[in-house]
């Protein structure tokens, strides 16, 4: 059984048809040849962009010379109304300053410190699970949002403000793709941007709610009553070079990306992991067996979940939450046999790289055991970037690789999941890789 992926378009379509397909879903808008190509050029009268799959090229852009290939400002075309000037969108000295303040909150022992909050969120998620036919993305969104609020602000999702942010974000996440058309294909400035009318208003409502959370925490810090969580750590950390902390407005930007990166991506990965467990009951049983080790809130239990971790890694390979990343060439380059002009858009696609037919053995198969093979280990180093790589690797990558396996194991300790006939999900890219009509599963208590 092969897990589902979107249909590919024909190799040649008109520019207008490509724009229509892209607007509907960036994954199915791409031709099948991208799963075999080392590099592909997209040339129109208006733009040139290059999708890069060769591991050496990916390494050059992300690891060896990241300052020569900053994030494309065109990413902000779609996300800036929500994320403002957050660390996800900035470049250069602004980005470096933001990372100097943010990174200490996620270093070393902080994972151990946040583990009890993750544990409580996983227990709450297991208690909420109903029996019968369930749309599982809704459940995983709830669980992942709960983790973020507990670890960031020490509040459960039942908190009034937390609940309001969550429900507003649920409405927002399907209104805007992770990449606006202008991010992937540089449109001329006179061409209209393809936004939904309510996207900007929804983003403003989310940011206003986050501002209330930030203001409340600032008052607690001033009074000396703030809990020692991620928000307090970030809001009180001073830039070692300037001595400055984030302003309240800057903190709203950062909380917005923490919620997007830490909630939306985790929810996507967990939903697909549960669907894959429904398709592969033999792996589901292995995870359920491991989950019996979850008998106490102790960080050491994570070492008892090696199969669950490999299942989650394999899920991130097949369904990377962020399917494409865009960088920009700051000077002329020559890659393979192509001259790349300054200003060209360079697209790095975990979706295609993780399923590349010339790199992975049985690339479309679900096989958590591959990570113990030579091919899996090699590709894991050279062709696996669910959290990006290099200087801009996701700050919360380690956080996610604890949260995901923990919640997956905890849920499967209590319930068995199986597919719903006639309800195979079709992956599409919204803010993350989600299912076109949800992911429906049968849940039954063990």
- Average pLDDT taken over every residue of the chain: 89
In a domain, residue 265? The reply is: yes
The average pLDDT across 374-397 equals: 95
Q: Is the model's pLDDT at 227 over the cut of 60?
A: yes
User: Which CATH number is 105's domain given?
Assistant: 1.10.630.10
Tell which residue, 435, 409, 426, 442, has the closest CA to residue 174.
435
pLDDT digits (tens, 9 = 90+) for 4-29: 777 665 566 555 555 555 556 677 76
Checking if the pLDDT of 110 tops 90, the result is no
Q: Which residue has the higher pLDDT, 195 or 34?
A: 34
Residue 122 CA to residue 116 CA, distance in Å, equals 10
Q: What is the per-residue pLDDT across 246-268, written as a single tens digit (0 to 9) for each? A: 999 999 999 999 988 888 899 99
Q: What is the pTM of this model?
A: 0.91
User: What pLDDT is recorded for position 190?
Assistant: 47
Is residue 5 included in any domain, yes or no? no
| Domains: count for the chain | 1
The answer to whether residue 44 scores a pLDDT higher than 50 is yes
Asked, for residue 242, whether it belongs to a domain, the answer is yes
For range 420-441, the mean pLDDT: 90
Angle at 51 between CA 185 and CA 399, to 5 degrees: 100
Structural domain for 292, as ranges: 15-445
Residue from 264, 256, 220, 267 nearest 408 by CA: 267
Helix (H, G, I), strand (E, B) or coil at 443: strand
Q: What's the confidence (pLDDT) of residue 79?
A: 78
Q: For position 202, what pLDDT does the model report?
A: 84
The pLDDT tens digits of the residues spanning 283-342 come to 999 999 999 999 999 999 999 999 999 999 999 999 999 999 989 999 999 999 999 999
Alpha-carbon gap, residue 154 to 216, rounded angstroms: 12
Average confidence (pLDDT) over 166-183: 65
Does residue 9 fall inside a structural domain?
A: no
Q: Does residue 2 sit within a domain?
A: no
Q: Measure the CA–CA gap between 195 and 181, rounded to whole angstroms.
A: 10
* Amino acid 191: pLDDT: 47
Does residue 10 sit within a domain? Answer: no
φ, ψ of residue 159 in degrees (nearest 5): -55, 145
Task: Look at 128-137, 183-192, 397-406 and tell me which has the smallest mean pLDDT.
Answer: 183-192
What local confidence, expressed as pLDDT, does residue 304 receive? 96
30-61 per-residue burial string, b: 16 or more CB within 10 A, e: under 16: beeebbebbbbebeeeebbbbbbbbbebbebb
In a domain? residue 7: no
8 A C-beta contact, residue 137 and residue 446: no
Q: Which of 245, 252, 247, 232 is closest to 151 using CA atoms?
A: 232
Residue 1 lies in a domain: no
Q: How many CB atoms lie within 10 A of CB 89?
A: 19
Mean pLDDT of 113-128: 96
Phi, psi of 252 (to 5 degrees): -60, -45
Residue 148 near residue 259 (C-beta atoms within 8 A): yes
pLDDT-derived band at 174, boundaries 50, 70, 90: low
pLDDT digits (tens, 9 = 90+) for 210-226: 999 999 999 999 999 99
More confident call, 427 vs 77: 427
pLDDT at position 203: 86
* Percent of residues, the chain, with pLDDT higher than 70: 87
pLDDT (0 to 100) of residue 264: 87
Tens digit of pLDDT for each residue in 142-156? 999 999 999 999 999
Distance (Å, whole) CA 280 – CA 273: 10
The residue-averaged pLDDT of 373-387 equals 97
């Amino acid at each position: 059984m092969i897990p589902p992926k979107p249909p590919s378009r024909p190799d040649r379509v008109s520019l207008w048809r490509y724009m229509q397909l892209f607007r509907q879903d960036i994954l199915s808008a791409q031709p099948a040849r991208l799963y075999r190509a080392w590099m592909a050029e997209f040339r129109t009268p208006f733009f040139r962009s290059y999708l890069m799959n060769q591991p050496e090229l990916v390494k050059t852009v992300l690891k060896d010379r990241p300052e020569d290939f900053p994030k494309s400002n065109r990413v902000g075309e779609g996300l800036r109304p929500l994320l403002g000037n957050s660390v996800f969108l900035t470049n250069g000295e602004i980005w470096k300053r933001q990372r100097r303040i943010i990174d200490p909150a996620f270093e070393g022992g902080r994972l151990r410190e946040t583990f009890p909050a993750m544990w409580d969120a996983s227990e709450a998620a297991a208690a909420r699970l109903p029996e019968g036919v369930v749309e599982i993305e809704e459940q995983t969104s709830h669980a992942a949002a709960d983790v973020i609020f507990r670890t960031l602000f020490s509040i459960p999702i039942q908190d009034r403000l937390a609940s309001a942010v969550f429900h507003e974000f649920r409405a927002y996440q399907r209104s805007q793709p992770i990449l606006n058309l202008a991010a992937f294909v540089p449109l001329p400035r006179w061409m209209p941007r393809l936004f939904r009318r309510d996207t900007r208003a929804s983003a403003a409502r989310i940011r206003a709610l986050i501002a209330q959370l930030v203001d409340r925490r600032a008052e607690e810090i001033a009074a000396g009553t703030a809990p020692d969580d991620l928000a307090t750590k970030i809001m009180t950390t001073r830039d070692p070079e300037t001595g400055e902390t984030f302003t309240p407005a800057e903190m709203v930007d950062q909380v917005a990306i923490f919620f997007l990166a830490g909630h939306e991506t985790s929810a996507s990965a967990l939903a697909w992991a549960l669907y894959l467990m429904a398709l592969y009951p033999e792996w589901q049983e292995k995870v359920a067996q491991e989950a019996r080790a979850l008998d106490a809130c102790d960080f050491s239990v994570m070492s008892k979940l090696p199969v669950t971790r490999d299942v989650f890694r394999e899920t991130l390979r097949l369904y990377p939450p962020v399917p494409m990343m865009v960088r920009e060439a700051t000077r002329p380059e020559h890659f393979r046999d192509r001259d790349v002009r300054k200003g060209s858009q360079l697209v790095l696609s975990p979706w295609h790289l993780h399923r590349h037919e010339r790199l992975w053995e049985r690339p479309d198969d679900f096989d958590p055991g591959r990570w113990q093979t030579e091919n899996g280990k090699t590709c894991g180093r050279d062709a696996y970037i669910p959290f990006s790589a290099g200087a801009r690797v996701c700050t919360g990558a380690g956080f996610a690789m604890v949260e995901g396996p923990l919640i997956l194991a905890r849920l499967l300790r209590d319930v068995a999941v199986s597919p719903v006939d006639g309800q195979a999900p079709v992956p599409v890219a919204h803010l993350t890789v989600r299912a076109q009509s949800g992911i429906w599963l049968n849940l039954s208590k063990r």
